[in-house]
Amino acid sequence: MTDNLKASVARQRLALFNMLLEPMAYVAGRCAAVWGERQALDAVLLDALGTVPHSRYLYALDTRAVQVSSNAAVEGLIGTDFGRDRAARPYMHEPMPAHGLLLSEAYISLRAKRPSLTALRRIERDGEQLGLLGADFDLRDLPLTREVYREPNRWQQLRGDPAIRGSLFEQRRVESLMDRHIDEVLPVLEELVTESGVFHCKIHFSSSRATIWLVDDPFRYRLLHFDELADPDVCLAYPHCAYPEQALVAAEQVRAILQGFRRLRYADDIIYLRSGSLNVFNGLVALNFSCDGSHYLPHTEFLDPASTFWQNVS
């Protein structure tokens, strides 16, 4: 996980932790008052379920992680979980913070097989730990902050399949139909992007095809084969659409980016561009090479001949 993505996850976890801090402490105190009385403990947990936001189950464990209550759920008490040994569950292996509330890392639940979280709160009486209050959460139930993660605007290089890299120098670029007609194909793609509402296109040079996504129908991609890409008439199938104002890539930059793909395709017969894509909204260029290595970089860096990227590939 990248540092940016970790930071985004950390913000979500902090919001959830703050939401649970007081309710879990309150319920733990109520559990301590009836500790050792199973029926009374079950009644407390069932009554408190609605006070712990978005929890699927509430339960109590002794200090050995053996369940000493039923599971309190929306549908009622689940008595079959009494006596369940949870010592092997992932959340039981995380250190309890000094403040007494642990929000676990996400894990896959045993029953529903879905990403889940567990919160554990120490149950204490007169300074002695009696056990733990557990609350299970299904990630899909959590009201996350709705702050959508944004891809970092920097060059990222990812290694691919080591088997492909191992045999790299035994292969050579084989001229494809698109290679032979690239000066006819690229203007068609430029027209589709700048005039017909294509905001994301991926060009597969080796297999002579492209996939495109349209502003007016962003949830479906279209597959264009070589015969369609080499025929300017294909532009008639996609009505004129004004170039989006929110695009980070300027319309006049599209041609230069496509020409950059052309340069990388012919740069070397061993290490050559296999596919290239452009998204005009996030301004990222994605490149996949014959060594199966991939690069993701801002279009501004791709367009700068003095950038570190071009110095490395030259």
Over residues 16-30, mean pLDDT: 93
Considering 115, 141, 167, which residue would you say is the last residue of a domain?
141
- Residue 5, φ and ψ in degrees, nearest 5: -70, -40
Claim to verify: residue 286 and residue 202 sit in the same structural domain: yes
Q: Out of 259-273, 274-288, 289-303, give the one with best mean pLDDT.
A: 274-288
pLDDT value for 144:
59
Q: What is the CATH number of the domain that holds 133?
A: 3.30.450.20
Residue 65: inside a domain, yes or no? yes
Residue 146: inside a domain, yes or no? no
Claim to verify: residue 100 and residue 235 sit in the same structural domain: no
Claim to verify: residue 9 and residue 65 sit in the same structural domain: yes
* Stretch among 120-134, 158-172, 266-280 having the lowest mean pLDDT: 158-172
Claim to verify: residue 169 and residue 72 sit in the same structural domain: no
Interior/surface letters 119-154, b for 16+ CB within 10 angstroms, e for the rest: bbbbbeeeeeebbbbbbbbbeeeeeeeeeeeeeeee
The percentage of the chain sitting over the pLDDT mark of 70, rounded to a whole number, equals 87
pLDDT at 147 over 60: no
Residue 148: inside a domain, yes or no? no
Confidence of residue 145 (pLDDT cuts 50, 70, 90): very low
pLDDT value for 151:
60
Q: Which residues constitute the domain of residue 11?
A: 3-141
pLDDT at 160 over 60: no
Residue 150: inside a domain, yes or no? no
**CB neighbours (10 Å) of residue 216?**
10
Considering 111, 141, 171, which residue would you say is the last residue of a domain?
141
pLDDT value for 163:
47
Claim to verify: residue 66 and residue 176 sit in the same structural domain: no
Residue 147: inside a domain, yes or no? no
**Stronger pLDDT, 145 or 156, i.e. the higher one:** 156
Claim to verify: residue 169 and residue 125 sit in the same structural domain: no
Residue 122: inside a domain, yes or no? yes
Claim to verify: residue 168 and residue 274 sit in the same structural domain: yes
Measure the CA–CA gap between 274 and 294, rounded to whole angstroms.
10
Over residues 285-290, mean pLDDT: 89
What are the angstrom distances between the C-alpha of 289 and each of 176, 184, 277? 15, 22, 12
Closest CA to 112 of 132, 90, 136, 91: 136
Domain count within the chain:
2
pLDDT value for 110:
86
pLDDT digits (tens, 9 = 90+) for 169-215: 556 667 889 999 999 999 999 999 999 999 999 999 989 999 999 99
pLDDT digits (tens, 9 = 90+) for 100-138: 999 998 888 888 888 899 999 999 999 899 999 999 998
Residue 149: inside a domain, yes or no? no
Claim to verify: residue 88 and residue 183 sit in the same structural domain: no
pLDDT at 7 over 90: no
Over residues 257-284, mean pLDDT: 90
Residue 51: inside a domain, yes or no? yes
Claim to verify: residue 81 and residue 185 sit in the same structural domain: no
Claim to verify: residue 306 and residue 247 sit in the same structural domain: yes
Considering 110, 141, 172, which residue would you say is the last residue of a domain?
141
Claim to verify: residue 165 and residue 136 sit in the same structural domain: no
pLDDT value for 69:
97
Claim to verify: residue 287 and residue 210 sit in the same structural domain: yes
